[in-house]
Amino acid sequence: MALTHPITAKWPAQHPDRLQLYSLPTPNGVKVSIALEEMQLPYEAHLVSFERNEQFAPEFLALNPNNKIPAILDPHGPGGQPLALFESGAILIYLAEKTGQLLPRDAAARYETLQWLMWQMGGVGPMFGQLGFFHKFAGKDWEDKRPRERYAAESRRLLGVLEQRLAASEWIMGGDYTIADIAVFPWVRNLVGFYNAGLLVGWADFPQVQRALDAFVARPAVQRGLQIPA
């Protein structure tokens, strides 16, 4: 069934019975590859090259009209029917519910996990991303440094929220590693690694975040997922 979707004309599926991932190894992209590796769910990864503007290809837009990665095509979706899905947070929830992994079954704990997932999507991702833009990329062309300082201050605040949470727990949801961690820590890693913004946000003030980040990156599934798609 997956072969009937327009996206497979540009990215043919070698294993059409497996879940198809269309992505890049960016903080948002690796959320899904890491989750798939942690869950050991069979999948096939396809690189969507932004250098070639493939995110604007009609075939990709047929799957994600918002022209962003990641996106998936699951030939075995709800009711046994194919499911096309975009938005990393929605995909993480879907995969967790599909496999029964990395999302608590207890109702209260489930909603608390989703709360932290939404916190990443609404705060950490946008704020860290804007700070990276103004600190490392085109922001250097602005003489006015107020935008950079605004996003640096908000990033510091968000790291403080995470630091307080992790001061009393191993992971965001206590002893349980969940999709909330998979959503948050690729962005934290990017902030102090790729964006080189550690000094700007006062990284030394967040030892518990560093501790959890180290534990996250040390996981074999995370190490694999960070490289996918190659």
Convert 89-101 to b/e letters by CB count within 10 Å (16 or more is b). bebbbbbbebeeb
DSSP-based three-state secondary structure for 1: coil
**Mean pLDDT lowest for which of 24-38, 45-59, 119-133, 140-154?**
140-154
Convert 33-48 to b/e letters by CB count within 10 Å (16 or more is b). bbbbbbbeeebbbbbb
Query: Superfamily for 2-102?
Result: Glutaredoxin (3.40.30.10)
CA distance readout (Å), 85 to 62, 111, 206: 11, 21, 35
Instruction: Flag whether pLDDT at 1 surpasses 60.
Output: no
The encoded tokens of residue 33 equal 């590859």
Q: What is the mean pLDDT of residues 198-205?
A: 97
- Domain residues of the chain, as ranges? 2-102, 107-219
Q: Strand 71-74 to strand 19-23: parallel, antiparallel, or no bridges (unpaired)? A: antiparallel
> Please, are residues 71 and 22 in contact by the beta-carbon 8 Å criterion?
yes
The CATH number of the domain covering residues in 107-219? 1.20.1050.10
What pLDDT shows up at residue 3?
59
**Distance of alpha carbon 83 from alpha carbon 73, whole angstroms:** 6
Instruction: Flag whether pLDDT at 146 surpasses 80.
Output: yes
- Confidence grade of residue 143 (pLDDT, cut at 50, 70, 90): confident
- CA angle 169–154–65, rounded 5-degree value: 95
Largest Cα separation within the chain, whole Å, is 55
Convert 186-211 to b/e letters by CB count within 10 Å (16 or more is b). bbbbbbbeebebeebbebeebebbbe
What pLDDT shows up at residue 142?
77
**Distance of alpha carbon 95 from alpha carbon 117, whole angstroms:** 14
Q: What is the mean pLDDT of residues 138-145?
A: 78
**Distance of alpha carbon 59 from alpha carbon 149, whole angstroms:** 39
**Mean pLDDT lowest for which of 117-121, 133-137, 189-193?**
133-137
pTM of the shown model: 0.96
**Distance of alpha carbon 43 from alpha carbon 198, whole angstroms:** 35
Q: What is the mean pLDDT of residues 91-107?
A: 98
Instruction: Flag whether pLDDT at 172 surpasses 50.
Output: yes
> Please, are residues 22 and 7 in contact by the beta-carbon 8 Å criterion?
yes
| Dihedral-angle region of residue 47 (phi above 0 means left; psi in -120 to 50 means alpha; beta otherwise) | beta
Q: Which helix (H) or strand (E) holds 44?
A: strand 43-47
Instruction: Flag whether pLDDT at 71 surpasses 90.
Output: yes
What pLDDT shows up at residue 2?
39
